[in-house]
A and B are shown apart, each in its own frame.
Chain A
Amino acid sequence: MRAGGRRNRVRTTIAAATAVLIALAAGGTLASAQDASDAPATDVPVVLTVGTTVDLITDNPFAVSAGSDWTVVTAQYDMLLKFDDASLSPAPSLATGCDPNDDSTVWTCTLRDGLKWSNGSPLTSRDVAFSYRFIIDNNIPQYRSDFKFNPTFETPDDHTLIWTSEEPTFAPEMPPWAYIVPQKVWQGVDGKGLQVIKAQPNTPSIASGPFVLTEWNQGQGWTMEKNPYFWGQEPGVDRIDFRVYSNQEAMTQALRNGEIDVADGIRPSLVNSVDGIDNVTVQKVISDWWLNLAFNFGGQGPDANPLPALQNLDVRKAIEMAIDKQAIADTVYQGTATPGDTIIRPASAFWHLDIPADEEFPYSPDDANALLDQAGYVDTNGDGIREDPSTGDPLQMTIPASSDTTGAVEAGQLIVGYLQAIGIEVDLKPVTDAKMNDYWGAGNFDAYIWYWSGNPDPNYQLFVFTSDQCGSWSDGCWKNPAFDKLYEEQGKEFDRDARQKIVFDAQRLVYEQVPGVVLAYPGWVQAYRSDRFEGWTPAPGDHGYLMPGYNYDSLVSVHPVASSSGTAASSSSVPGWIWLVAIAGIALIVVVVVRRGRRGDLDEA
Chain B
Amino acid sequence: MGARRYLLSKFLQAFATLLFVLTFNFFLFRVLPGDPIGLLARSQRLTDADIAEQRATLGLDQPLPQQYVTYVEQTVSGNLGVSLRTARPVWGIIASRLGPTLLLVGLGTLFATVLGIMIGIKGGWQRGSRFDTSTLYGSLVLYSMPEGWLGMLLLITFAGILGWFPAGGYSSGGDLTGVARIVDIADHLFLPVLTLTLGYIGEYAIIMRSTMIDTVNEDFVTIARAKGVPERMVRKHHVVPNAFLPTFTLIFLSLGFILGGAVVVEAVFSWPGIGLLTYNAIQTLDYPVIQGVFLLSSAAVILCNLAADVAYGYMDPRVREA
Contact = CB atoms under 8 A, between A and B. Distances in A.
A247 B267 contact: yes
B305 to A, nearest CB: 29
B169 A472 contact: no
B168 A250 contact: yes
B97 A27 contact: no
Contacts of A569: 174-176
A405 to B, nearest CB: 10
Interface stretch (A126-134, A226-234, A238-246, A415-423): A238-246
Nearest to A471: B48
Interface stretch (A138-146, A485-493, A555-563): A138-146
B186 interface: yes
A471 B85 CA distance: 24
Interface stretch (B153-161, B243-251, B291-299): B153-161
Nearest to A47: B174
Given A257-B167, A441-B38, A577-B187, A571 B172 contact: yes
Given A244-B169, A259-B166, A575 B155 contact: no
A402 to B, nearest CB: 10
A563 B55 CA distance: 55
Interface in A215-265: 217-221, 223, 239, 241, 243-247, 250-251, 253-254, 256-257, 259
Given A244-B270, A603-B231, A27 B173 contact: no
Contact of A576 (B38, B164, B232): B164
B44 interface: yes
Interface stretch (A351-359, A388-396, A427-435): A427-435
Interface in A442-482: 471-472
Interface stretch (B6-14, B65-73, B137-145, B177-185): B177-185
B132 interface: no
A199 B82 contact: yes
Given A570-B174, A570-B184, A199 B33 contact: no
Contacts of B80: none
For A199, A219, A431, A576, the residue with the greatest tally of chain B CB atoms inside 10 Å of its CB is A219
B26 interface: no
A251 to B, nearest CB: 7
A605 interface: yes
Given A219-B96, A219-B277, A569-B174, A195 B39 contact: no
Given A31-B183, A218-B96, A472-B48, A434 B54 contact: no
A376 interface: no
Interface stretch (B86-94, B120-128, B195-203, B213-221): B86-94
A434 B285 contact: yes
A223 B179 CA distance: 21
B263 to A, nearest CB: 10
Nearest to A576: B164
B255 to A, nearest CB: 23
Given A250-B167, A576-B164, A577-B165, A65 B88 contact: no
Contact of B171 (A55, A194, A220, A256): A220
Contact of A35 (B169, B180, B285): B180
A221 B58 contact: no
Contacts of B46: 141
A20 B313 CA distance: 40
A331 to B, nearest CB: 26
Nearest to B231: A603
A64 B178 CA distance: 35
A254 B166 CA distance: 7
For B57, B155, B166, B280, the residue with the greatest tally of chain A CB atoms inside 10 Å of its CB is B166
Contacts of B159: 253, 257
A247 B268 contact: yes
Given A63-B87, A194-B57, A251 B167 contact: yes
Contacts of A142: 44-45
B77 interface: no
Interface string B244-264: 000000000000000000000
Interface in A253-302: 253-254, 256-257, 259
A383 interface: no
B162 interface: yes
Interface residues of A, number: 68
A434 B36 CA distance: 7
Interface in B88-127: 88, 93, 96-97, 100
B97 A199 contact: no
A198 interface: yes
Interface string A24-61: 00011001101100000000010100000001011010
B22 interface: no
B224 interface: no
For A145, A431, A576, the residue with the greatest tally of chain B CB atoms inside 10 Å of its CB is A576
Given A27-B179, A435-B33, A571-B172, A195 B87 contact: yes
A243 B35 contact: no
Interface residues of B, number: 74
B167 A259 contact: yes
Given A218-B93, A243-B169, A438-B33, A576 B184 contact: no
Nearest to A222: B173
Contact of B86 (A58, A246, A605): A58
Nearest to A39: B175
A16 B173 CA distance: 33
Contacts of A35: 176, 180
Contacts of A219: 96-97, 100, 170, 272-273, 276-277
B1 interface: no
A66 B43 CA distance: 6
Contacts of A580: 164, 190
A250 B155 contact: yes
Nearest to A34: B180
A251 B269 CA distance: 10
Given A66-B43, A241-B174, A575-B186, A253 B160 contact: yes
Contacts of A114: none
B95 to A, nearest CB: 11
Contacts of A259: 166-167, 172
B50 interface: yes
A194 B46 CA distance: 12
Contacts of A31: 178-180, 183
Contacts of A223: 173-174
B183 A32 contact: yes
B19 interface: no
B223 interface: no
B180 A141 contact: no
Contacts of B164: 575-577, 579-580
Interface in A141-161: 141-142, 145
A57 B167 contact: no
A205 B185 CA distance: 27
A588 to B, nearest CB: 12
Contacts of B168: 245-247, 250-251, 253-254
B33 A434 contact: yes
Interface in A555-605: 569-571, 575-580, 603-605
A576 B155 CA distance: 13
Contacts of B272: 217-220, 244
Interface of B: 32-36, 38-48, 50, 53-54, 57-58, 82, 85-88, 93, 96-97, 100, 155, 158-160, 162-176, 178-180, 183-184, 186-187, 190, 230-233, 266-273, 276-277, 280, 283, 285
15 contacts: A32-B180, A45-B175, A55-B280, A199-B87, A217-B272, A245-B169, A253-B155, A254-B166, A434-B39, A570-B180, A571-B184, A577-B164, A579-B164, A580-B190, A603-B232
Given A220-B173, A432-B34, A576-B165, 20 more contacts: A32-B180, A141-B46, A142-B45, A195-B87, A198-B87, A218-B93, A219-B96, A220-B169, A221-B173, A241-B174, A247-B270, A250-B270, A254-B167, A434-B32, A569-B175, A575-B183, A576-B162, A576-B164, A580-B190, A603-B232
Nearest 7 A/B pairs, CB to CB: A434-B34, A576-B164, A219-B272, A577-B190, A575-B187, A250-B168, A254-B167
